[in-house]
Chains A and B, each alone.
Chain A
Amino acid sequence: MSGPLLSLRQVTKRFPGVLANDRVDFDAYGGEIHALLGENGAGKSTLMKVAYGYYPKDGGEVWLDGRELDLKSPADARRAGIGMVFQSFTLIPAFTAAENIALYLPHLDLMPNVEVIEKEIRDRAVAFGLEVDPRAVVGMMAAGQQQKVEILKLLLAGARVLIFDEPTSVLPPHEIENLFAVFRRLKQAGFAVVFITHKLHEVLECADRITVMRRGAVTGSISGREATEDALLKMMFGGGAVEARRAQPPVAAEPAPALNLEELSSGGAGLPLREINLEVRRGEIVGVAGVSGNGQRELGDVVLGLLPITAGRKWLFGEDVTGWSVARLRQAGVAYVAENPGYMAVAPGLTLAENFAVTSPRAYQLAGGLRVDWARVSADMRRAYGALEIEAPDPGLRAGALSGGNLQRFSLARELGRKPRVIVAVYPTRGLDARTANHAENLLLAARSEGAAVLLMSQDLDELFSLSDRLVVLRSGRIVGRSRPQETTQIEVGRLMTGGG
């Protein structure tokens, strides 16, 4: 093999208060699928964004094919032949696939010849398994299709190094396999494919080479054939092995449901729910499987009292709570663990104490609301963290200063620390690194053992199968399947999710 196509040498990147990359070396060869593995916040995305010219580096060099690049912007990187697909796509929804791709071409004519571009798209699409209709409007496409458009964009612009930031996080399970097939074809054509991930099984499945990062530095690089799960875990977490996924401890559920949705339909923004019948008992986790965007978030919002209920009833411990406000439901013991807590659960500009108090501000008010008992808030926050056996951060810290994982820990401490009776968890581990996700799962299990009723939405079938006592499958706002994890298979559930068979 000749020299590396993309070579990063001693790359250093600092953010205020954080050394994101500390003199990192990284080589990607043509004809190779290279996985960049690490926990959240290990510095993987940052490193690749430096290589793509998205972040200016504070030190080090970026070489492409034996030539040093002076990257001032992503445009420089694209011109040199480096392309990157971000986690959130950078497509214009109102444009067609061809228009989006044309927009990205380095030398676009003043009067672009659409047919030539469309033909090129079709040629590439056939060659690499990226079938998309060039004339389809991107906004109408599913995430998997949009991802294909992103890849085509890079290919037509002449990229030789293709970087993917968490490419599988937006895909339903069955499409991940297709993506890996595309990777393999790209590799055979001599491209260097770099993909960032924190999922071990993906890495083991398709990477030729695996580089592991931890706390801003590379901890090792091994070939895909030599790699084992244990070896990678060791490199990711520094020796202390992550505990294995636990067996299902049986908890006797009470017969009367804690939460009961009866022929419930919802209105408001988003996908309407239709005739949902769902019971969650005390001491039970009910998992909701489904491809993202099939009503999971709406189901969570309906239980929390955010979305209007147009038909049917909602019962909480035998009481009709159909019209109750969020505040009232929360007071009655409903907790909500959100995905993306920075957006859904906390105000980043407020302190942790303030964010902690705001879910039940009346409980902390003094003199009829004129003052807030901050000492008690801080004490309760420490106690909540203590109950979950996590070390509490300073309550005076701004929430925005916490990383994604720590913010989710805060959200879990706030929601679970008050011993809720019903817990709605919407993608609680999405975007978290393996260890934090594991911790969050354990906390949900612990809450269940203490008698909470848990409604868990997740995209990760492993997670649903290992945590849930019962499973329902949600598709287009309806429940299309019910079973117990031990009585079904992931393939069966996946089939229901996608509407096949």
Chain B
Amino acid sequence: MAQAAAVFRAPWAGGYRRLPPFVRETLRWIGWLAVALGLYTLLLLAYGRDPVQAYSDILSSTLGSTYGISEVLVKMIPIVLCALAVAIPARVGLVNVGAEGQLFVGALGATWATLAFPSLPGWILLPLSAASGFVAAGAWAGVCGLLRARGWLNEVFSTMLLNYLAVLVVDYLIFGPWRDPTSSNYPQSRLFPAAGWLPTLAGTRVTVFLFVAVACVAAFALVIAYTRWGLEIRAIGGNPEAARRNGVSITRYLVILMIIGGGLAGLAGMGEVAGLHHRLNPGVSSYYGYTGFLVSWLAGHRAALIPVMAFVMAVLASGGDILQITQGLPYAAVTLLMALILFVVLAARARKGAKSQ
């Protein structure tokens, strides 16, 4: 029976199996991506749009010019930092859904520092503003870590609910006490002093935070791989029951990694207010927190894959803006594509996990 089946196997089946594992892995990923794009194509067709035109619009507007690429980088910075905000706690099993809110709180912290000390020189003001954003958002997220460590409240709920609270607090401040008296129409804070603006790179909108994001990814990778803390973190992630009995303090890591994660999302918020808007306004985030969540899960919380996935998502996010203009599609159309990709990839990973059991 088994031999007969072997004879009638598809001719390419054997060839695929002979390929080296990483090629197979890559092919499989391309395959899954194709499934997601295929589904999205059907949706576009159902909507009466030209899918080929839509995909080529996305690509040409983002990767077709230096400006397009620079705009992708602009979006990548907060996405990478928010992905780290999710990935770092995820290594000890925490699900941080609150990067969006943490970004808002970080923006708030940065804005407070900048507007409170407007006369400081840039080389003091910018680090102060960044630290203030990091600390504010870190404390904000740390509360969720503490609640979880005590066994009082699961972090999924606390971080998600605090997203709404963060947005409301920012709204309150910019509609109320922090409102810029000179702009009567827009609810926004006063403009930052020039010293509080992040330097940009060679005529683009890309700020020096590009290097900060890269450094954070590298630090994450190195800490996990080489340090004692990385060892303990991997032990908790690998088997919390054993880690507890081996004397690793799980509660401490739950709180600390949540603080670090939240702090990095806060840093993303600081990067946005100090780098792009130069003031606090309601549009400080274009769903970066949620996109970062997606990126982290797509990357399996691994440092090396986060920039790759962030790049893909930044292309789509930039492309989404273009689709609104050229195809008259709502921005939700591109959110839908992101969701499809996440869905397909997670399904593929679940399938792989089930197989290996």
A interface list, Cβ under 8 A from B: 58-59, 301, 304, 306, 325-327, 329-331, 336, 338, 343-350, 354-355, 357-362, 364-365, 369-372
Contacts and interface: CB of A to CB of B under 8 A. Distances in A.
Contact of B243 (A301, A304, A358): A358
Given A344-B242, A358-B248, A372-B231, 19 more contacts: A325-B249, A329-B247, A330-B246, A344-B241, A345-B242, A346-B239, A347-B234, A347-B237, A349-B234, A357-B231, A358-B246, A359-B247, A362-B228, A369-B229, A370-B226, A370-B228, A371-B226, A372-B227, A372-B228
A347 B229 contact: no
Contacts of A346: 239, 242
A113 B354 CA distance: 36
B234 A361 contact: no
6 contacts: A59-B2, A344-B242, A345-B245, A349-B234, A369-B229, A372-B226
B238 A326 contact: no
A289 B238 CA distance: 32
Contacts of A365: 228
A348 B235 CA distance: 9
B150 interface: no
Contacts of B229: 369
Contact of A327 (B231, B239, B248): B248
A370 B234 contact: no
Contacts of A330: 246-247
A369 B242 contact: no
A45 to B, nearest CB: 16
Contact of A343 (B232, B242, B248): B242
B227 A370 contact: yes
A336 B246 CA distance: 8
Contacts of B228: 361-362, 364-365, 369-372
A336 B244 CA distance: 11
B230 to A, nearest CB: 8
A350 B242 CA distance: 12
A358 B227 contact: no
A354 B229 CA distance: 12
A358 B231 contact: yes
Nearest to B246: A359
A361 B241 CA distance: 17
Contact of B247 (A327, A344, A354, A369): A327
Nearest to A361: B228
Nearest to B239: A347
Contact of A350 (B226, B234, B241, B245): B234
A347 B249 CA distance: 15
Interface in B188-234: 226-229, 231-232, 234
A338 B245 contact: yes
Contacts of B239: 343, 346-349
Contacts of B249: 325-327
B245 A336 contact: yes
B245 A347 contact: no
B246 A306 contact: no
A355 B238 CA distance: 10
Nearest to A400: B238
Contacts of A370: 226-228
B227 A350 contact: no
A354 B234 contact: yes
Q: Of residues B239, B241, B244, which shows the largest number of chain A Cβ atoms within 10 Å of its Cβ? A: B239
Contacts of A364: 228
Nearest to A301: B245
Contacts of B247: 325-327, 329-331, 359-360
A347 B226 contact: no
A362 B247 CA distance: 11
Contacts of A369: 227-229
A283 to B, nearest CB: 25
B231 A343 contact: no
Q: Of residues B2, B227, B242, B249, which shows the largest number of chain A Cβ atoms within 10 Å of its Cβ? A: B242
B61 to A, nearest CB: 42
Nearest 9 interchain pairs by C-beta:
A347-B238, A327-B247, A347-B239, A369-B228, A326-B247, A365-B228, A330-B247, A358-B235, A349-B238
Interface string B319-347: 00000000000000000000000000000
A363 to B, nearest CB: 10
B47 to A, nearest CB: 43
A431 B286 CA distance: 55
B232 A361 contact: yes
Contacts of B248: 327, 358, 361
B227 A371 contact: yes
B99 to A, nearest CB: 26
B231 A347 contact: no
A336 B231 CA distance: 20
A354 B242 contact: no
B245 A306 contact: yes
A361 to B, nearest CB: 5
Contact of B245 (A325, A344, A348): A344
A354 B4 CA distance: 46
Contacts of B246: 326, 330, 345, 358-359
Given A361-B232, A371-B226, A372-B228, A304 B238 contact: no
Contacts of A325: 247, 249
B245 A326 contact: yes
A301 B228 CA distance: 25
A217 to B, nearest CB: 21
A59 B5 CA distance: 13
Contacts of A327: 247-249
A359 B228 CA distance: 12
B35 to A, nearest CB: 27
